[in-house]
Amino acid sequence: MTDTHHTICRACHAGCGVLVELDNGEPVAVKGDPDDPLFKGFCCIKGQNFHKTRSSPKRLLHSQKRQADGSYRTIPVAQAMDEIADKITALIGKQGPRTLATYSGTMAANASAANGAMSSAWLKATGSRMGFNSNTIDQPGKMVAAALHGHWMAPSNNFAEADVLLLVGANPLVSMSGGVPHSNPGRTLTDALNAGLTLIVIDPRRSETARRARLHLQSKPGEDIPLLAAIVHTIINEQLFDNAFVAEEVDGLATLSDAVAPFSPHKVAERVGLDAADIETAARLFAGSSKGVVTAGTGPNMSGNTTLLEYLVLSLNTLCGRWQRAGERVHEPATLGQPTLAKAQAIAPYPDYAYDFGERIRVRNLSNTAAGLPTAALADEILKPGEGQVKALISHGGNPVAAWPDQLKTIDAMRALELLVQIDVTMSATAKMADYVIAVKHPLETPGTSLAQEYLSGYAVGFGATAAYAHYTPAIVSPPAGSDLIEDWEFFYGLAQRMNLQLTFKPISFNGTVRVPGHKLDMHKPPSSDELLDMLTEGSRIPLAQVRQARGGRLYPDPAVYVLPKDPDCTARLDIGNAQMMQDLADQLEQTPRQNNLAMRMVCRRQINVLNSTGMDIPSQSHGKTYNPAYMHSKDIDALGLHTGQTVVIRSARASIRGIVAKDDNLRRGLVSMTHCWGGRPEEDEDYVNIGANTGRLSSVDSDYEKYTGMPRMSNIPVQVLPLA
């Protein structure tokens, strides 16, 4: 018997509303839901294979404990929690709470928002402040720059009303990430282009998105800061900015104007690898349109100076007044999240909470930041002896060994830990080094909501929900018979019970959202997953109970939310002339000389059919491509005397990896473009044809990093490409 259920695909952060077909209770197909008002039938290849990760032979059905000989044996999850709670209690008793750290990765709150909220509640209750997340190895400059620039208390121009979009190193047609709404981005972009949207893309690769742009600036990687400065320069010089908005709401115009003066399009053209006229055209197209934003992606954020990059992005949006004004209707009011209070006014910058505050890191003079603690420094926190050394790590929904930069150091750190717990659905690269692997339910086995997408709206301009949409899914299927699985949140709750900790469970709040005190959980009677979702959505604009009744995702435009006028006594202003940022911009005038023996640049890219380290082992998803090719322009392949399919060694100043050459004439010359999170540990290197190679190994966390966030260079890495001897 087949039947069809509505659910939320949780194979990535996009959370598409999809249909899952069950045959005698077993999921056999996932496809788009043509009736979903936002996703309109969309389901990417990862989504079409979503159910296969559940039935994969590699899926864990029981938690695992590492044995003295390095092998793994099944352990009942309750016993694993007993042992882990005892170990953590003993370590904290001996060393204090700082010995305990958590790392939350991409999947930490994807299945259910309850998971991330519970891990935060638990860590807080232990007294440790060492909570790390994948933000700080992604685009941390977004939050740090916002703290220096201030926030606007209403959203930026919505994609639906935009007549221009400037993307800097983002490829939303593949990543479903910032810029073009994550809901069916291909179709959404086509409709917008047909309606007259001007798309400008800055990317050294003629990416899937760049191919559809009116103007593609195929610049050199790592030169986005001088390029953006030249665009700002042109806009100020030609008086193309929103004078009224800037006069009323913004500080720092004169300072910014002076700071960008040395970056005229003519001066930077050669350095960034473009014609000055094209830079001017981009500036005029962007500023000459009335609505639409600039958004940056991982490419430029990983190429150094994430904070300054994002500060220029915000300044460009603010200069051109790309924020909603009083009386305008908010397209994407919080629906299940904490209610939005939209006002046409600034929240002043809060530089004291941008970086250099809170918990201090014992290396490289780093500390907490607006984006969280620097994950790129966690390996050193584990390796460096002394007071406060981290000896226990709980990693959930992330995969440090595959994803963290400087893989060799990460592996040393994982080995040095006294306790490594990996919460996962499979024996991932990190699970293979863990003392305990906690096997968790597949998202199809748990209830979920569209809260994750709403939370992403607080991340940066051009991200997250773009409409008043909500979706709730119950668990569609039970876990496989005979399995011993829990939800991620149950692990943290279970540890708290065993450690006699009282948990306070709270939704995430952003600027402009109402902050709530949270719920003291009953520590004797565990809540249900649905009760937790009720707590997270308490007071929401649309009650979760109502959303539960709909079959599938729905739009909930009413009650409408409008941008309120500015408070009469509000004096806060946005700042586009932060002194530290202007100093960093001046420092950009000095270019670092190129090393001739590392003449190529390794740049990052994403591929549609895998998400970071997941999806490689599902044959119908990987299409038999079991490695990450080393893409290069065919003229570079020829010039280096190489050929397609040949194995090469790619060497950076830090380490080297294997690569299999593939042709990509969409690339600028001089680049090697490879996807991250492939490959294994060094002892598995010979198997590169079957597992790929880990580009994270080429990064160095301690020689080339941003001083505020510790974010190392993860794109635009100087490399040498040599035939394998």
Interacting residues with Mo ion (CB under 5 A): 138
| Smaller CB separation from Mo ion, 138 or 424 | 138
Position 15 contacts ligand SF4 (CB under 6 A): yes
Position 9 contacts ligand SF4 (CB under 6 A): yes
Among Mo ion, ligand MGD, ligand SF4, none, what binds residue 199 when CB lies within 5 to 8 Å by partner kind? none
Which residues make Cβ contacts (< 8 Å) with residue 399, sequence separation at least 6?
A: 105, 424, 428, 429, 430, 612, 613, 677
Cβ(384)–Cβ(412) under 8 Å?
no
Position 171 contacts ligand MGD (CB under 6 A): yes
Shortest Cβ distance from residue 545 to ligand SF4 (Å)? 25
Of 278-286, 361-369, 494-502, 607-615, the window that binds ligand MGD (rule: CB under 6 A) is 607-615
| Smaller CB separation from ligand MGD, 22 or 174 | 174
| Smaller CB separation from ligand MGD, 8 or 154 | 8
Among ligand MGD, ligand SF4, Mo ion, none, what binds residue 200 when CB lies within 5 to 8 Å by partner kind? none
224, 242, 249, 332: residue in contact with ligand MGD (rule CB under 6 A): 224
Position 373 contacts ligand MGD (CB under 6 A): no
17, 150, 226, 300: residue in contact with ligand MGD (rule CB under 6 A): 300
Cβ(117)–Cβ(328) under 8 Å?
no
Position 20 contacts ligand SF4 (CB under 6 A): no
| Smaller CB separation from ligand SF4, 298 or 307 | 298
| Smaller CB separation from ligand SF4, 4 or 644 | 4
> For residues 422 and 397, what is the distance between their CA atoms, to the nearest angstrom?
8
Which residues make Cβ contacts (< 8 Å) with residue 208, sequence separation at least 6?
A: 171, 173, 174
| Smaller CB separation from ligand MGD, 274 or 344 | 274
- Tokens 């939704």 -> residue: 507
> For residues 186 and 582, what is the distance between their CA atoms, to the nearest angstrom?
37
ω into 265 cis (within 30 of 0): no
> For residues 225 and 313, what is the distance between their CA atoms, to the nearest angstrom?
9
Position 306 contacts ligand MGD (CB under 6 A): no
State which amino acid sits at residue 672: V
> For residues 416 and 42, what is the distance between their CA atoms, to the nearest angstrom?
45
Position 176 contacts ligand SF4 (CB under 6 A): yes
Among ligand SF4, ligand MGD, Mo ion, none, what binds residue 612 when CB lies within 5 to 8 Å by partner kind? ligand MGD
> For residues 513 and 341, what is the distance between their CA atoms, to the nearest angstrom?
6
Per the structure block, which two tokens stand in for 344? Answer: 């046409």
Among ligand MGD, Mo ion, ligand SF4, none, what binds residue 676 when CB lies within 5 to 8 Å by partner kind? ligand MGD
| Smaller CB separation from ligand MGD, 440 or 640 | 440
66, 396, 471, 668: residue in contact with ligand MGD (rule CB under 6 A): 396
Shortest Cβ distance from residue 176 to ligand SF4 (Å)? 4
| Distance (Å) of CA 119 to CA 111, 397, 491, 592 | 14, 11, 9, 42
Distance of CA 243 to the CA centre of its chain: 34
Which residues make Cβ contacts (< 8 Å) with residue 686, sequence separation at least 6?
A: none
The four Cα atoms 176, 178, 182, 186 give a dihedral, to 10 degrees, of -70
Position 174 contacts ligand MGD (CB under 6 A): yes
The length of the chain, given as a count of residues: 725
Per the structure block, which two tokens stand in for 198? Answer: 């001007």
Cβ(342)–Cβ(324) under 8 Å?
yes
The DSSP secondary structure of 588-654, one letter per residue, reads TTSPPPPPGGG-EEEEEE--TT-BTTBSTT-HHHHTT--S--EEE-HHHHHHTT--TT-EEEEE-SS
Environment class of residue 695 by beta-carbon count within 10 Å: exposed (0-12), middle (13-18) or buried (19+)? buried
Of 344-352, 475-483, 531-539, 709-717, the window that binds ligand MGD (rule: CB under 6 A) is 709-717
Position 691 contacts ligand MGD (CB under 6 A): no
Position 204 contacts ligand MGD (CB under 6 A): yes
Position 618 contacts ligand SF4 (CB under 6 A): no
Among ligand MGD, ligand SF4, Mo ion, none, what binds residue 614 when CB lies within 5 to 8 Å by partner kind? ligand MGD
Position 433 contacts ligand MGD (CB under 6 A): no
Query: What residues make contact with ligand MGD under the rule CB under 6 A?
Result: 12, 105-107, 111, 134, 137-138, 168-172, 174-177, 202-205, 207, 221-222, 224, 297-300, 302-303, 396-399, 402-403, 405, 423-426, 428, 440, 443, 488, 603-606, 608, 610-614, 676-677, 695-696, 714-716
Query: What residues make contact with ligand SF4 under the rule CB under 6 A?
Result: 9, 11-12, 14-16, 43-44, 46-47, 176
